[in-house]
Structure 1
Amino acid sequence: MCIGLPMQVIGLQGDTALCRYRGGDTLVDLLLVGAQPVGTWVLVFLDTAREVLSEEKARQIADALEAMHLIMGQHPIEQSQIDDLFADLVGREPPLPEFLLS
């Protein structure tokens, strides 16, 4: 399985960019999305940017990844911790379909 990571461009180097996610820096190929200015958020799969993201979308993806990290961890977690990471879905209108509520 390949999971896309939201990364922020922090430096440019030709057709690649130095990007940051969770404090780690990675050299990312920009050929599929074109040159991007410093500060841009991109969705990265296997060190290749596949999509340009808004800051809000990047945060939502990072929150979902953090929820997955918490769920897979060894420590007990509270439902509120997960709800906080999916604030855009909790109490939203229209409500989630019944099969997604359980």
Structure 2
Amino acid sequence: MCIGIPMIVKELPDEGVAICEGRGLREKIDIMMVGPLEPGTWILAWNGTAMDVLTEDRAAQVNKALDSLENVMNGNLDPNTEDAFADITANTGRLPPHLAAQLKKR
């Protein structure tokens, strides 16, 4: 399983490259897959590459989930763990729209 890290663009030193910060890290990130960005833009980074552009709210939601996972891995059961994954638990039993449309065609 791969886990993307929300990072905020701080600097754009060269074309296709951004200096980003997130979760205590500062890294040079390849932004060619997501296109031109401005400082202050949130991205989802994995393995030195920006995979997606995020809203500030979505970045906070992903960080909350990562915090919860980190707590559990360290043996700290957080009573709010389920809240950190509200976007997943809210969709339990529902197919994404593109799959639901395929099912209706049958």
TM range (shorter): 0.7 to 0.9
- Provide Cα deviations, 1:54-97, integer angstroms capped at 9, x if missing partner: 0000000010000100111134x341x4255456678x6xx855
Normalising by structure 1, what TM-score?
0.76
Identity percentage of aligned residues: 36
Question: RMSD in angstroms over aligned alpha carbons?
Answer: 2.0
Report if aligned partners of 2:7, 2:42 keep a CA contact under 8 Å in 1.
yes
Distance 1:44 1:78 in 2: 26
| TM-score, normalised relative to structure 2 | 0.74
1:4 corresponds in structure 2 to 4
Closer/same/farther in 2, CA of residues 62 and 78 from structure 1, 3 Å limit:
closer
| Offset, 1:22 | 1.9
When residues 37 and 20 of structure 1 are mapped into structure 2, their CA distance, relative to the original with a 3 A threshold, is same
Q: Runs in 1 of length 4+ with deviation above 3 angstroms?
A: 83-90
- Equivalent pairs counted in the alignment come to 92
Q: Please, which runs of 5 or more residues in structure 1 have no aligned partner? A: 98-102
Contact 2:71 2:78 in 1 (8 A): no
Inter-partner Cα distance in structure 2 for 1:82 and 1:49: 27
Gaps of 5+ in 2: 94-106
Match of 2:39, SS state, is: coil
Corresponding position of 1:13: 13
